[in-house]
């Protein structure tokens, strides 16, 4: 099957947005045995979009299109493709109902221009968007299948993984089944992970191994083809075991879970609780855990101790520690964690103090972060990090590192960070 990928949006051509969809979808197609021959980016212009669609339809069996499905006048993808294919769009009552419910849940009336998103191809497929308003669409004409996806990554990627990948698998010829398994890693970058697994990746055939850099962490997807599902699992199992032998200390999930989901599950399974004392992350660690259903059984609470005054008054961090070592120090992180554990009467407590930027502070460089981990009956340990990136990225990485340290302690009674 010959495929090509078209990304739509004038912002791509102006350099305001980087096209990450083409690389993501190419890796996904490769894992499925679909050959991608072309990548094209085109602006929000009917004439040029029409030219690109006609060219794609003349040379490919599968055309994956990203973007241009929004409610505004410059979102032209669906309408232009319908015109090129000579198909009249129709309004889908199920899509209307979902969109109206989406806006009802936000206590606001649905804008009239959003009804533009309720029109679909009459004999096509509709993919529900769980993270936005634009549904995905698929339509086939003259032996070519076109798949339309929303542009925002937070909408496109979940839609692809939940709905479009199974749709593509059903398009593939033959009677083989395709099975994928995902390994999630933290504490090791994509390039280092690839280097550690270079021989596996270079010699892959069946199963294939595809690494993906996430916002915080790396994912490996192992995909196998076989005559039946168990045979595919049997192909994946030995490869997965060898990978975990080599880099298993960085693997926190084999089930596509987030770090916060893993931590809540481990705490619940062990009937343990946790509390937080945060400075530079400003409550982000507490927020991440609170996004997981059932966290109320394990999360006692947290204190955002952003100033020295609050560290001293609310957390009882001794003034002499703050005066002698400073708020951004191993001593402060250790005291913050220990005091939080005692105040909340939790089994574990994590503290975070550091410099998120953009300027250095207390003589410490941007990205210097200290994480304290207190556990009832054990000495409090402090971990030093040197993080890079924007202020928001440093805050996110600091919070994720803290969760990774805790899950390592919960899993093995130790940490590798």
What distances in angstroms separate CA 393 from CA 216, 220, 317, 383, one per listed residue?
A: 9, 22, 27, 18
- Percent of the chain at pLDDT > 90 equals 86
- Identify the CATH number of the domain defined by range 259-413: 3.90.950.20
For the domain with range 177-253, which CATH number is right: 3.30.70.1140, 3.30.70.2860, 3.40.50.620, 3.90.1150.10? 3.30.70.2860
Check residue 109 and give its pLDDT. 81
pLDDT bucket at 416, cuts 50 / 70 / 90? very low
Give the residue among 31, 87, 70, 72 at the shortest CA–CA distance from 148.
70
As a whole number, the mean pLDDT across the chain is: 94
**Quick one: which of 100, 104, 4, 107 has its CA closest to 55?**
4
Give the pLDDT band (50/70/90) at residue 402.
very high
349 forms beta bridges with 275, 374
- From CA 310, how far away is CA 313, in angstroms rounded? 5
Pick left, alpha or beta for residue 216 (phi over 0 → left; psi -120 to 50 → alpha; otherwise beta).
Answer: beta
pLDDT band for position 173 (50/70/90)? confident
Share of the chain above pLDDT 70, in %: 98
On the question of pLDDT at 414 being above 90, the answer is no
Superfamily of domain 2-171: MoaB/Mog-like domain (3.40.980.10)
Query: Element (H or E) spanning 161, and its range?
Result: none
Token pair for 410: 């919960």
> Which is more confidently placed, 210 or 410?
410
- Residues 258-298: tens digit of each pLDDT: 999 999 999 999 999 999 999 999 999 999 999 999 999 99
What pLDDT is recorded for position 161? Answer: 92
pLDDT digits (tens, 9 = 90+) for 94-128: 999 999 998 887 767 888 999 999 999 999 999 99
* 3 state DSSP class of 120: strand
Residue 415 pLDDT more than 60?
no
Instruction: Provide the pLDDT for residue 85.
Output: 98
Residue 417's pLDDT band, with cuts at 50, 70 and 90, is very low
Task: Residue 205: count other Cβ atoms within 10 Å of its Cβ.
Answer: 6
Q: Where are the alpha helices (DSSP H) in 151-258?
A: 153-159, 165-171, 190-196, 198-202, 229-247
The full set of domain ranges for the chain reads 2-171, 177-253, 259-413
Query: Where is mean pLDDT largest: 29-38, 39-48, 172-181?
Result: 39-48
pLDDT tens string 328-378: 999 999 999 999 999 999 999 999 999 999 999 999 999 999 999 999 999
**Pairing outcome for strands 348-354 and 274-278:** parallel
Q: E strands along 239-356, which residues?
A: 251-253, 274-278, 299-304, 348-354
pLDDT at 118: 96
Q: Is the dihedral of CA 385, 386, 391, 392 positive or negative?
A: negative
Q: Give residue 361's region: left, alpha or beta (phi > 0; psi -120 to 50).
A: beta
Helix, coil or strand: residue 291: coil
- Please give the average per-residue pLDDT across 66-87, as a whole number: 96
Other C-beta atoms within 10 Å of 99: how many? Answer: 21
Q: Let me know: does 100 contact 115? Beta carbons within 8 Å.
A: no
C-alpha angle 84/131/281, rounded to 5°? 135
pLDDT at site 413: 66
């Amino acid at each position: 099957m010959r495929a090509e990928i078209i990304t739509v949006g004038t912002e791509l051509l102006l350099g305001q947005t980087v096209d990450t969809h083409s690389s993501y979808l190419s890796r996904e197609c490769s894992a499925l045995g679909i050959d991608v021959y072309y990548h094209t980016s085109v602006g929000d212009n009917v004439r040029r979009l029409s030219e690109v669609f006609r060219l794609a339809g003349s040379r490919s069996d599968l055309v994956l299109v990203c973007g241009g499905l929004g409610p505004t006048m410059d979102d032209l993808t669906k309408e232009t493709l319908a015109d090129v294919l000579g198909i009249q769009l129709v309004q889908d009552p199920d899509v209307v109902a979902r969109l109206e419910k989406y806006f009802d849940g936000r206590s606001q009336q649905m804008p009239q221009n959003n009804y533009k998103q309720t029109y679909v191809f009459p004999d096509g497929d509709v993919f529900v968007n769980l993270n936005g308003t634009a549904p995905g669409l698929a339509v086939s004409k003259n032996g070519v299948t076109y798949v339309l996806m929303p542009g925002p990554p937070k909408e496109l990627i979940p839609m692809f993984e939940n709905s479009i990948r199974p749709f593509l698998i059903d398009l593939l010829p033959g009677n083989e089944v395709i099975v994928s398994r995902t390994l999630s890693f933290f504490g090791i970058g994509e390039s280092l992970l690839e280097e550690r697994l270079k021989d596996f990746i270079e010699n892959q055939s069946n199963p294939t191994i595809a690494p993906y850099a996430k916002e915080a962490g790396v994912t490996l997807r192992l995909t196998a083809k076989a005559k039946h599902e168990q045979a595919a699992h049997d192909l994946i199992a030995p490869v997965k075991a060898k990978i975990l032998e080599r880099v298993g200390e960085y693997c926190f999930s084999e089930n596509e879970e987030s770090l916060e989901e893993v931590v809540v599950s481990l705490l619940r399974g062990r009937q343990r609780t946790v509390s937080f004392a945060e400075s530079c992350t400003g409550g982000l660690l507490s927020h991440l855990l609170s996004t997981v259903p059932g966290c109320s059984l394990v999360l006692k609470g947290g204190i955002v101790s952003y100033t020295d005054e609050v560290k001293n008054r609310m957390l009882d961090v001794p003034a002499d520690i703050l005066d002698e070592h400073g708020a951004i120090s191993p001593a402060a992180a250790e005291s913050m964690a220990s005091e939080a554990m005692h105040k909340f009467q939790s089994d574990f407590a994590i503290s975070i103090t550091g410099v998120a930027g953009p300027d250095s502070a207390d003589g410490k460089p941007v990205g210097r972060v200290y994480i304290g981990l207190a556990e009832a009956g054990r000495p409090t340990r402090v971990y030093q990090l040197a993080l890079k990136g924007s202020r928001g990225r440093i805050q996110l990485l600091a919070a994720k590192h803290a969760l990774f340290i805790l899950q390592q302690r919960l899993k093995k009674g130790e940490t590798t960070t």
